[in-house]
Amino acid sequence: MQIREKGYYKWEGELKKGSINWLPIFKNGVKSVYNKKFSKLLFAFSSGWFFIFLIAIYLSERDEVKTAGNMLGGIIKKIILSNAHLFHFYYTFGYFIFALVLLSLFSGSELISSDLKYKSYTLYLSRPITILDYIKGKYSIVLFYLLLFSLVPGLLLLLAKAIFAKNISISVFTLLASIVFPVLISLFFASLSLFFSSLTENSKTVKILIFSFYFFSDMLGGMFYGIFKNKDFFYFSITKNIKQFGTFVFGTEDSFYTPGLISGSILLGLTVLFFVLMYSKMKRTEV
């Protein structure tokens, strides 16, 4: 074995590019989000809607509730006993959507802005990773938490319904819809949070922008509808578009009597737009 003298010498190793170079970004990001202050409180809040539905599904399988004529019995008969309505109502209720907004804000607002603030973005690219690897890593962090509190609870509700009813009565269409819908909505909120995170180094400003975009979209939709009495103005509202897109995916009745495919196209278009703008911004930052 060759013995070298003390001092500097040229490194003779080789940098190899792996297939999942973004994995370390994902692992570190998930841990940092989990260790944030108030994270456990937010996770508990985000889980609340799941436990409410879990109780409702249990009650729906009890004979005394099925035959009840009170309001609880009526709600359960209308929503819980129809699988399509069950998942549509679960995934499009205001509580659930607001929880996703908070999760995307909490997990995504600092992912890029902090890298810009501390000039660590260029350090990422000095390693054998590309801009797309960097973005994949950041997306994976936000999607991990969004899907953990959307897709995973939905599948657990499906399992609970099968256990309580002692049979699997859900159709393949509803099963696929209950998987595809939360994934698409999570992609939208991930793109939203990461786009605003790439705009500024101030994470507080990013949080304000994310929340304002969600809040004012609903406010504009309601305000214009109140003035002009035209339900097409609900296309300005993020919440209304998610609900209407849900009617298209799950095949339930329309929420405001406009094509759900249009709402889905709006959400998909915004997802792509946010991604393209973020990628362009990071490309300019690299230069």
Sign of the dihedral through C-alpha 40, 42, 43, 49: positive
Q: What does the pLDDT read at residue 14? A: 60
Q: Is the pLDDT of residue 26 over 60?
A: yes
Q: Is the pLDDT of residue 272 over 70?
A: yes
Q: Tokens representing 33? A: 């989000």
Q: Is the pLDDT of residue 234 over 80?
A: yes
Better-scored residue on pLDDT, 20 or 4: 20
List pLDDT tens digits, range 33-63.
999 989 999 999 999 999 988 888 887 766 6
Please, which residues have CB within 8 angstroms of residue 104's CB and are 6 or more apart in sequence? 142, 146, 189, 190, 192, 193, 210
Q: Could you give the CA distance from residue 12 to residue 149 in angstroms, rounded to a whole number? A: 47
Listed in sequence order, the DSSP H helices in 151-259 are 151-165, 172-197, 203-228, 238-250
Q: Is the pLDDT of residue 166 over 80?
A: no
**What global pTM score does this model have?**
0.86
